[in-house]
Amino acid sequence: MATTCQHPGHKHPEHRRRQAAPDPAAIEDAVARLRARGLRRTRLLDAVLCCLAASPRPLTIGEITTALDGAGDPASVYRMIERLVQAAVVRRLGLQERALYYQMILPGHHCAWLICQHCGAIGEIDAGCPVAELEHHLAAQSGYSDLQHELTFYGTCPECRKT
Amino acid sequence: MATTCQHPGHKHPEHRRRQAAPDPAAIEDAVARLRARGLRRTRLLDAVLCCLAASPRPLTIGEITTALDGAGDPASVYRMIERLVQAAVVRRLGLQERALYYQMILPGHHCAWLICQHCGAIGEIDAGCPVAELEHHLAAQSGYSDLQHELTFYGTCPECRKT
DNA sequence: ATACATGCAAACATTTTGCTTTGGC
DNA sequence: GCCAAAGCAAAATGTTTGCATGTAT
Mean pLDDT of chain B, nearest integer: 85
Burial of A14 (0-12, 13-18, 19+ CB in 10 A): exposed
User: Residues with Cβ < 8 Å from A103, sequence gap 6 or more?
Assistant: A52, A55, A57, A58, A59, A90, A91, A93, A109
- Mean pLDDT, rounded, for B8-19: 42
Assess contact for B112 and A116: CB atoms under 8 A.
no
Task: Kindly report which amino acid residue has its CA closest to the C1' atom of nucleotide C23.
Answer: A42
Question: What CA–CA distance (Å, rounded) separates B68 from A99?
Answer: 26
What is the rounded (10 degree) CA torsion for A61, B63, B54, B49? 90
Q: State, as a whole number of angstroms, the distance between the CA of A59 and the C1' of D5.
A: 22
The verdict on a CB contact (< 8 Å) between A154 and B154 is no
Shortest Cα distance from A39 to chain B (angstroms)?
17
Tell me what pLDDT residue A156 has: 93
Which of B2-16, B19-33, B48-62 comes out lowest in average pLDDT? Answer: B2-16
- Mean pLDDT calculated for residue range B6-14: 37
The one-letter code for the residue type at A144 is: Y
Gap from A147 CA to C14 C1', Å: 27
What is the per-residue pLDDT across A101-121, written as a single tens digit (0 to 9) for each?
999 998 777 779 999 998 899
Residue range A77-94, pLDDT digits in tens: 999 999 999 999 999 999
| Nearest chain A alpha carbon to B136 | A153
Best mutation target among B15, B82, B154, B162 (most A Cβ atoms within 10 Å) is B154
What pLDDT does residue B11 have? 39
Residues of chain A short of pLDDT 50, as ranges, are 1-18
Cα B4 from Cα B119, distance rounded (Å): 6
Over residues B55-59, the mean pLDDT reads 94
CA-nearest residue to A2 within chain B is: B82
Show residues of chain B in contact with A153, CB under 8 Å. Answer: 135, 138, 144, 147-149
Q: Report long-range pairs for A29-33 (Cβ below 8 Å, ≥24 apart).
A: A30/A89, A30/A104, A33/A87, A33/A89
The H-or-E segment that residue B52 falls in is helix B43-54
Q: B66-96 pLDDT, tens per residue? A: 999 988 999 999 999 999 999 999 999 999 9
Residue B163 neighbours by CB distance under 10 Å: 7
The model carries a pTM of 0.87
Can you give the pLDDT at residue B163? 77
Q: Measured between alpha carbons, how far is A66 from A80 in angstroms, rounded to an integer? A: 15
Let me know: does B5 contact A92? Beta carbons within 8 Å.
Answer: no
| Number of helical H runs and strand E runs in chain B | 6, 6
